[in-house]
């Protein structure tokens, strides 16, 4: 197993180095009128290489101009990236006509030249991964998979209009950016985790709003210093806790993440609201007759209970 790329292990501002990919098509209504026609919508997904934060734009077709509009919207909201990685489209294999169209768009020299020129105007380097190597883009492929799964589960046969679809996609972006990626400290009643949202707004996306006391100009300098200190603290945690864990290498004939006492886990709970995560710590494990762990005693902030191992998800850094 190879080492992580340099862009994955060097601290930088959010979305300074990104990967981008398409997802779709999704069937939506062109308007809210009763007899409005159905159109195809696509998702343009950007993912930050360092913080794994996600930004999603909606495109209404597979033209270069639509992709360029998504890229310009992304730059307007997140800033111009220094490096952008994408595939060439030749790794899209399938019988679907839409996949063929998507492959033709991404692999066409005209499209690649336009995107390279647009990026060069903003001093951005655009990189294309080698043909027939989808594993080079595993980071953004995982983001596409998570986004499509949330969309299919949420829609479940329902056909939204374009405005509803954009609203749903934005909320899914918030759910993905609130996911825990690293556990820091645990106590008897609290589990502290690091999320992509910490690098975007300096706190979890599901945290209660803070009271900004900006009326007094004398406190502006101190507040700016506090923000810088919090940002440096997030990056220090990212480097010392998350980065050191994802660089571990295991033999492929052993479990990647065996359940052990003290592991911080996400409890699969269908009753939770979006952006809410049921975090717990494994206190003890009970093996089945075959010697394989089957049930665990889990401690959360409010209770201690037994839960099957298969419904406990360790954090990526565990």
pTM: 0.69
Check residue 242 and give its pLDDT.
57
8 Å CB contact between 26 and 61: no
Residues 155, 26: Cα–Cα separation, whole Å: 10
- List average pLDDT for each run of 10 residues in the chain, which is 318 residues long: 70 87 87 84 91 91 83 89 77 41 67 72 77 73 84 81 88 86 64 81 71 52 59 60 55 62 82 77 83 84 84 76
Residues 100, 124: Cα–Cα separation, whole Å: 28
- Pairing mode of beta strands 182-186, 125-128: unpaired
Check residue 46 and give its pLDDT.
94
Q: Tokens representing 36? A: 């409005």
Q: Note the helical H segments in 64-186.
A: 64-78, 97-107, 109-121, 138-155, 162-177
Check residue 253 and give its pLDDT.
52
Beta bridge partners of 19: 47, 85
Check residue 181 and give its pLDDT.
79
Check residue 288 and give its pLDDT.
73
DSSP 161: B
What the chain holds in terms of domains, given with CATH numbers, is 7-177 (3.30.420.10), 180-209+216-246+255-318 (no CATH)
DSSP code string of 13-62:
-TTSEEEEEEEEEEEEESSSSTTPPEEEEEEEEEEETTT--EEEEEESSS
The answer for residues whose C-beta is within 8 angstroms of residue 128's C-beta and 6 or more apart is 85, 86, 87, 88, 112
Helix (H, G, I), strand (E, B) or coil at 175: helix
Check residue 90 and give its pLDDT.
40
- Tell which residue, 11, 15, 3, has the closest CA to residue 84: 15
């Amino acid at each position: 197993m190879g080492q992580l790329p340099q862009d994955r292990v060097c601290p930088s501002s959010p979305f300074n180095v990104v990967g981008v990919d398409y997802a779709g098509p999704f069937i939506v209504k062109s308007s809210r009128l009763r007899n409005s026609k159905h159109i195809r919508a696509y998702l343009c997904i950007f993912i930050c290489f360092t913080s794994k934060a996600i930004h999603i734009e909606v495109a209404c077709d597979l033209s270069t101009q639509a992709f360029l509009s998504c890229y310009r919207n992304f730059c307007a909201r997140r800033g111009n990236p220094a490096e952008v990685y994408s595939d060439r489209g030749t790794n899209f294999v399938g019988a679907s006509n839409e996949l063929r169209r998507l492959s033709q768009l991404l692999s066409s020299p005209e499209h690649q030249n336009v995107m390279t020129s647009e990026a060069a105007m903003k001093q951005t380097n655009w990189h294309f991964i080698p043909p027939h190597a989808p594993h080079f883009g595993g980071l953004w492929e995982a983001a596409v998979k998570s986004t499509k799964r949330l969309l299919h589960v949420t829609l479940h046969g329902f056909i939204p209009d374009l405005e509803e679809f954009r609203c749903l996609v934005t909320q899914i972006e918030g759910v993905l950016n609130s996911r825990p990626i690293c556990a820091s400290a645990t106590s008897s009643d609290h589990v502290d985790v690091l999320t992509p949202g910490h690098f975007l707004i300096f706190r979890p996306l599901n945290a209660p709003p803070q009271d900004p006391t900006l009326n007094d100009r004398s406190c502006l300098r101190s507040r700016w210093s506090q923000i810088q200190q919090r940002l440096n603290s997030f990056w220090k945690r990212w480097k010392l806790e998350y980065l050191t864990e994802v660089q571990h290498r295991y033999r492929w004939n052993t479990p990647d993440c065996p359940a052990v006492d003290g592991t911080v886990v996400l409890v699969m709970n269908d009753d939770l609201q979006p952006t809410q995560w049921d975090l717990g710590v494994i206190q003890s494990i009970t093996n089945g007759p075959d010697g394989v762990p089957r049930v665990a005693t889990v401690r959360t902030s409010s209770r201690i209970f037994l839960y099957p191992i298969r419904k406990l998800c360790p954090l990526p850094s565990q």
